[in-house]
Structure 1
Amino acid sequence: MKTILPLVVLALSTTVAAAPLVAVDVGHGIQDSGAISARGRTEFAFNRDFAGLLATTLRQRELGVREVNFDGRIGSLHARPQAAEGSDFFISIHHDSIGEAWLLDWEWEGKPQRYTEVKRGYGIFVSAQNPDPATSLRCASAIGAMMRRAGFEPSTWHARKHQPADAENGVWYYDNLVVLYRTGLPAVLFEAGVIKHRDEELELLDPVRQARMADAVATGIAACLYVKAAD
C-alpha cells in the first residue's frame, strides 16, 4: 500500500491537471445589466443563473472551470478575456433581445413592459478574427448540435445581419465582438434564448429546461475540447 498510494495520487493529480479549463463569462453586469425581459427582469440576472448552472455541469464532466464576472463587477469588455487567460476555451453567456421596431407594448404586474412575437430561439456566435477560429467554430458547432439533439431550436433571425458559420446548428459569424477577438483563446458567445419573447422568457426560467440546456452546452464543449486534446 505504501508503494501504490503515491502512484494513485500522482495519477489523479495528473488527470486533474490535464483536464481542459473552460472560462465561463457572465455577460453584462452591475453597471450594464443588458436587455430587459418581457416581464422586467435584467439579462444579467438570466446570464448569471445559467452560467452558474453551466459551471456546475461542466465540473460534473470533469472539466475545469474559471468563473469570469460572476459578481457582475467587470465593467470592461476587454477585461473579460484577460480574466480568462490561461484557460483552454472561453464561453460568454447571454440572453437575446430584438430591435425597437419589433417590440409591442403590454403591462405586467401593473408596470408597462415591451415584448416581441417574431423572434425566439438560441444563437451561437464566433469571430473569424479570433486567433483560433477553427477550434472556436468546431466547439460552437458541437454545442449547437447538442442543443438541437436536446430539442432546442436555433433562431433564424440572425440571418438578417450575420453570415452563417453553421446555420443548421445555429452558429453565426459576429467578427466585431470584443470578447471573441480580443483574446488568445478559442471563444464563443452563447445566446440562450430571447427574453423579450413572453413565452420563451418563461421557458428560460424553467429549472428542468435550464438543466437540459446546460447539459447540452457542457456536452458539446466537452466533446470538442477532449477531441482537440487528443489531437
Structure 2
Amino acid sequence: MASRRLRPIPPFLALVAALACLPAAAGAQCRQAGLAVAVDAGHGPKAPGATSARGLPEYDFNRRLAGQVVAALRASGFPKAYLLDPDGRDLPPAARAARANATGAGLLVSIHHDSVQPRYLEAWTVDGRARRYSDRFAGYSVFYSGRNPLAAQSLELARAIGRELTAAGLPFTRHHAEAIPGEGRPLVDDTVGVYRYDGLAVLAGARAPAALVEAGVIVNRDEEVALATAARQGQTARAVARGVERWCAAQNGR
C-alpha cells in the first residue's frame, strides 16, 4: 500500500485532543466511586529523603502514612484509591507524575514529612550516635503547583485538605514562608497552611489536580515521636480523606 503523507493537525483540534486525554476529575462532576486517587509515598528506600531527629528515614514515615491514606480514602467511598509506587522504586518526582498520568489518576496526593534548613539544626546524641534536630518548628504544610494544568483545582484540593487537618486539631508550620535561602514559598492561605511551590515536579507534571502534604516536622524531637504513632497517622490520614471528599463535593456543586 502506498504511504500517504500525514497532514499537520490544526491547533484547535490538537487542543481538543489534549483536553480529551485529561482525567475525568477535571470535569464538572466528581464521582467518588469512579475517581482514581493516586497516593504517592514520597522518596524511596535508596533515596529516603530527610532524616528524623532519631536517625530514621523519611521514607519510612511516608510509606506508613500513605498506606493509611489509601485505607481512609477507600473507607470514605473512594474504592479506586491506590498507592502510586507500592514497590518503592525510588522514582524521581517527574516519573511519579508520569506514572500517575499513565495509570489514569484523576487526583494525586503526595505524602511527605518535613525538615528545616541546616542553619536551624542542632546536635544531640541518640544511642551513642550524633544526630541533628530542631525543635523550633512543628506542624503540617500543604503545597500546590501553579504549573499544574489544573492549578485552580489543585489549590482547591490543597485548601480542602488543609481545612480538614486544621479541623482535626493539627497545627501548621509557617517556616516555609521565611525569607531565607531554600524557603520563601508564598503562603497563599495563612489560615490552613497552604503554600504555592511551582518547582515541585510531582505536582507540576500531573495532568490531574494534585497536592503535596508535609504531615509534620520529623527533625522536631517531640513531633517525630507523635508522627510515629498509629493515632497520629490515623488522625492525619482521615483528615486527608475528608479533604478529598470535601473537594469532590465542591466540584459537584459548581
In structure 1, the residue matched to 2:8 is: none
1:21 aligns with 2:21: no
Task: Find the partner of 2:92 among 73, 76, 81.
Answer: 76
Any residues of structure 2 matched to 1:65-144 within 5 Å, and which? 65-85=81-101, 86-144=104-162
- Say if 1:22 and 1:108 are closer, same or farther in 2 by CA, change over 3 A: same
How far apart are 1:17 and its partner, in Å? 8.3
Mean Cα deviation higher: 137-146 or 78-87: 78-87
After superposing on structure 2, the runs of 4+ consecutive aligned residues of structure 1 that deviate more than 4 Å are: none
Any residues of structure 2 matched to 1:151-230 within 5 Å, and which? 151-160=169-178, 161-229=184-252
1:79 aligned partner, one-letter code: A
* Superimposed CA distance per residue, residues 33-87 of structure 1 (whole angstroms, 9 cap, x where no aligned partner): 1000000110000000000001000000111213112321042222101111211
* Superimposed CA distance per residue, residues 73-117 of structure 1 (whole angstroms, 9 cap, x where no aligned partner): 042222101111211110110000011111010011111111002
SS of aligned partner of 1:169: coil
CA–CA distance in structure 2, aligned partners of residues 171 and 127 of structure 1:
11
Contact 2:49 2:58 in 1 (8 A): yes
Contact 1:144 1:170 in 2 (8 A): yes
In structure 2, the residue matched to 1:34 is: 49
Normalised by the length of structure 1, the TM-score is 0.90
SS of aligned partner of 2:143: strand
Unaligned segments of structure 1, at least 5 residues: 1-15
RMSD, aligned CA: 1.6
In structure 1, the residue matched to 2:21 is: none
How far apart are 1:19 and its partner, in Å? 2.8
CA–CA distance in structure 1, aligned partners of residues 148 and 51 of structure 2:
29
How far apart are 1:212 and its partner, in Å? 1.2
Contact 1:90 1:188 in 2 (8 A): yes
Rg larger in structure: 2
**Equivalent pairs: percent with the same residue?**
39
1:146 aligns with 2:164: yes
CA–CA distance in structure 2, aligned partners of residues 143 and 75 of structure 1:
25
- Say if 1:17 and 1:192 are closer, same or farther in 2 by CA, change over 3 A: closer
1:214 aligned partner, one-letter code: A
